[in-house]
Amino acid sequence: MTNSFTEENYLKALYNLTNETGDGEVNVNELSKRLHIKMPTVTSMMKKLAGKKLVHYESYKPVKLTEKGKKEAGLIIRKHRLTEMFLVEKMNFGWEHVHDIAEQIEHIKSPVFFEKMDELLGFPKIDPHGSPIPDKNGKMVWKAYDKLSDCKAGESVTLAAILNTTSEFLKFLNSREMQLGLKIKIKSVEGFDNSMVISYGKRQNETLSHVVCERLLIEKNK
Amino acid sequence: MTNSFTEENYLKALYNLTNETGDGEVNVNELSKRLHIKMPTVTSMMKKLAGKKLVHYESYKPVKLTEKGKKEAGLIIRKHRLTEMFLVEKMNFGWEHVHDIAEQIEHIKSPVFFEKMDELLGFPKIDPHGSPIPDKNGKMVWKAYDKLSDCKAGESVTLAAILNTTSEFLKFLNSREMQLGLKIKIKSVEGFDNSMVISYGKRQNETLSHVVCERLLIEKNK
DNA sequence: ATAGAAAGTTAGAATAAACTAACAAATTTA
DNA sequence: TAAATTTGTTAGTTTATTCTAACTTTCTAT
């Protein structure tokens, strides 16, 4: 009944890819690349997960998580994000360092352990990267944030979350003193490369490339 | 190079059995019982560990940890005990509940994670069960405690550590309000079954069986 | 000193998870 | 649309860890 670490990693990757690509379908090839596991291995694992009613699988078609699969994956991601939160808030780790540790702790089998974390953290809804933390039923409430790259010159926004977090990106943000909750004013948008010039805090003239702006999720200030 | 969870569990069991039986030698049969793994499986794992120079192994002879094996096992036990300590001190778990969680977290691969725990705990030398925490080189300094069962009527002692901790035993101690550091006065020792009558705190007449007294390590008060 | 019990080993099989090689289906492109 | 490319599957292996059955060695107790 209980899933192995391996199965949990497949479920998690499936869940993340589903959220990234939108339509709820994931190709075996995408999964294979994400997990760095060869396609035949992925195919056979899909059959195994299908046997456990965690995914819908038919030959030569993309894979979909079942409701049961979504719930289990959501719970793993919940554990991952609570852990990251705990490491940052209670153990004084930097954002950049928590991912690898959380990747391991997310597989711990102990409901009380994560309930305690949740409690000590004050039942957070968003993790240190700004991503939502699924609830106890594995349900993730995605607040519909806009990308900074979709905003126009003149708008005032608040940095609410970050997409596709990597250590390098987090370091980049840190080096510019950007953190969640930051109030940003868009001064101009360059037409030829879609880069933006913004101002915030003491920094009145920062330029961000389009690639960066696409990864910053914001809420517009009224 | 890095050991699997499985290998780590064998090393840990080997280390613990070594410390329990004294002479540094462990029978395949003992290991098998401790780990709930059948003897042939244990034999083949011993060969594997011998190949990694973690144990000394010869057919039909008891197994011994090498220096390398002792060090690695000590480091795992260090992680286990730091984790237990952290769970009790920083996450408000009760003694009885920490073992199963620590059993899983001890396998996390992340030196910084455990260094941070160590730091947050103030570099403790003894875990919540009173057992010593091996140092960063896996060396465990066993302070030579006496057993309560070796004391005589009239002596005053301080509870310093507990042997062979099980959940039931910890609950038993809790139910009698006994914790580390407790000052105990031995009122009498029954000759026929070696049970002891002791007094401490508000309790002036507690009787402890020999089995219990053998598991309580104390320091004599001068 | 030896028979019987206990402890240990060997051989062979099972399962989970990964791989490569070879083939098949689907998609893209010219 | 047919060839080329990409994607997916099957079949057969490999490695780690476990097991059972059968056999051997060592210990023990009479």
> Tens of pLDDT along B45-67?
999 999 999 999 999 999 999 99
| Among A113, A118, A119, the residue to mutate for chain B (most B Cβ within 10 A) | A113
Q: Is the CB of B4 under 7 A from strand C?
A: no
The answer for residues whose C-beta is within 8 angstroms of residue B106's C-beta and 6 or more apart is B8, B12, B76, B77, B79, B80, B83
> Considering Cα of A95, then A4, then B37, then B162, what sign does the dihedral take?
positive
Tokens of B206: 């507690």
pLDDT band for B166, please (50, 70, 90 cuts).
low
Q: How far is Cα A15 from Cα A26, in angstroms, rounded to an integer?
A: 9
Q: Do B104 and A101 touch (CB under 8 A)?
A: no
For position B179, what pLDDT does the model report? 86
Q: Which of A97, A104, A112 sits opposite B108 (nearest CB)?
A: A104
Task: Give the mean pLDDT of chain A.
Answer: 90
The answer for residues whose C-beta is within 8 angstroms of residue B194's C-beta and 6 or more apart is B149, B210, B213
> Is the per-residue pLDDT at A1 higher than 60?
no
- Residues of A within an 8 Å Cβ radius of B: 90-93, 97, 100-101, 104-105, 108-110, 112-113, 116-117, 120
According to the 3-state scheme, what is the secondary structure of B80-148? Answer: HHHHHHHHHHHHCCCHHHHHHHHHHHCCCCCHHHHHHHHHHCCCCCECCCCCECCCCCCCCCCCCCEEH
Looking at per-residue confidence, does B128 or A8 come out higher? A8
Task: Give the mean pLDDT of chain B.
Answer: 90
Q: How far is the CA of A40 from the C1' of C20 (A)?
A: 10
For position A169, what pLDDT does the model report? 77
For position A165, what pLDDT does the model report? 57
Residue nearest to nucleotide D24 (CA to C1'): B60
pLDDT digits (tens, 9 = 90+) for A184-219: 999 999 988 999 999 999 999 999 999 899 888 898
Looking at per-residue confidence, does B142 or B101 come out higher? B101
| Contacts across the A-B interface (CB distance below 8 Å) | 36
Q: Which nucleotide is nearest to B61 (CA to C1')?
A: C8
* Percent of chain A surpassing pLDDT 70: 95
pLDDT band for A122, please (50, 70, 90 cuts).
confident
| CA of B104 vs chain A CAs: smallest distance (Å) | 6
Contact B118, B125 (CB under 8 A): no
Q: Of A97-106, A142-151, B89-98, B174-183, give the lowest mean pLDDT range.
A: A142-151
- Residues of B within an 8 Å Cβ radius of A: 90-93, 97, 100-101, 104-105, 108-110, 112-113, 116-117, 120
Q: Which residues does chain B have within 8 Å of residue A2's beta carbon, measured at their own beta carbons?
A: none
Contact B158, B188 (CB under 8 A): no
pLDDT digits (tens, 9 = 90+) for A150-168: 899 999 999 988 776 566 7
* Percent of chain A surpassing pLDDT 90: 64
For position B1, what pLDDT does the model report? 58
Q: How far is the CA of B4 from the C1' of D15 (A)?
A: 13
Q: Is the CB of B45 under 7 A from strand D?
A: yes
> Is the per-residue pLDDT at B128 higher than 70?
no
Q: Of A3-7, A117-121, A154-158, A160-164, give the lowest mean pLDDT range.
A: A160-164
Specify the pTM.
0.75
Tokens of A154: 């003149």
Q: Which residue has the tokens 């057919």?
A: B59
| Minimal-distance CA residue of chain B relative to A120 | B91
Residue nearest to nucleotide D9 (CA to C1'): A40
Contact B167, B201 (CB under 8 A): no
**Size of chain B, expressed as the number of residues it contains:** 222
Q: Which residue has the tokens 């953190």?
A: A179
pLDDT band for B39, please (50, 70, 90 cuts).
very high
| CA of B95 vs chain A CAs: smallest distance (Å) | 14
Q: Which nucleotide is nearest to B57 (CA to C1')?
A: C8
